[in-house]
Amino acid sequence: MPSLEESFEELKCQIKHARRLNNTGDDPIYYLIFQPGEMIKVKQQMKVWTARLKKEGWDVHTLSLAEVVNAFLKNAPLRDVWLEAEKENPLDFESINTTLREALLYDDVVTEKVLEKIQELNGKSQSILFITDIEALHPYMRVGAIEQKLLGKVSVPTVILYPGVRTGKSSLKFLGIYPEDGNYRSIHIGG
């Protein structure tokens, strides 16, 4: 298994290679896969990686899915209703998570925020988007479902920092606890 540094160097090579080929029609989505136990280390490393990419001429942008999910849940119109219902049975985590999952999926909040950020960067040369904190999707959804909705709409290199386990060329296990999923069409690095 490659180190985080080796994976980052491979990511840079893949992105440069894709740019030289002027893309082959595939969306420039990359998963930088790392063991779930390395989440803190990756967050710390992001500062170094961002500085290095900027030094090489990249315009680096970040979208935290933890911030997206938190902002939605804090400002949801039904928040007071949810909190009141939770008081009746505060340990019914399955029901609570089902309600929050349905709200996130109904409004497709996460996908819309990712698309909004990608559209903001569209046409800006040397832009790169890092999607971080995808562990905030647990237990509501997996990022593969979002990737499916992005197909054909991604115009800038988009790197998803993926805490999980690689189980094949295109199969991943989110957080190392979800069942193996082979529906990813993106480029996988590391893991």
- The average confidence (pLDDT) of the chain is 87
Is beta strand 158-166 parallel, antiparallel or unpaired with respect to 172-174? Answer: antiparallel
CA distance 25 to 143: 21
Walk me through the domains of the chain, giving residue ranges and CATH numbers.
Answer: 4-65+109-190 (3.40.50)
Cβ atoms of 74 and 66 closer than 8 Å: no
Cβ atoms of 114 and 63 closer than 8 Å: yes
Q: Determine the pLDDT at residue 35.
A: 93
Residues lower than pLDDT 50 in the chain? 20-24
What SS3 class is residue 74?
helix
Q: Can you point out the beta strands (E) in 134-186? A: 158-166, 172-174
Which residues are CB-neighbours of 162 under 8 A, at least 6 positions away?
31, 32, 33, 34, 134, 143, 172, 174, 191
Pair of tokens at residue 29: 């989505």
Q: Determine the pLDDT at residue 151.
A: 86
CA distance 163 to 64: 14
Tally of CA atoms within 13 A in the half-sphere of 173 that contains its CB: 11
CA distance 58 to 77: 38
Q: Determine the pLDDT at residue 124.
A: 87
Q: Determine the pLDDT at residue 50.
A: 97
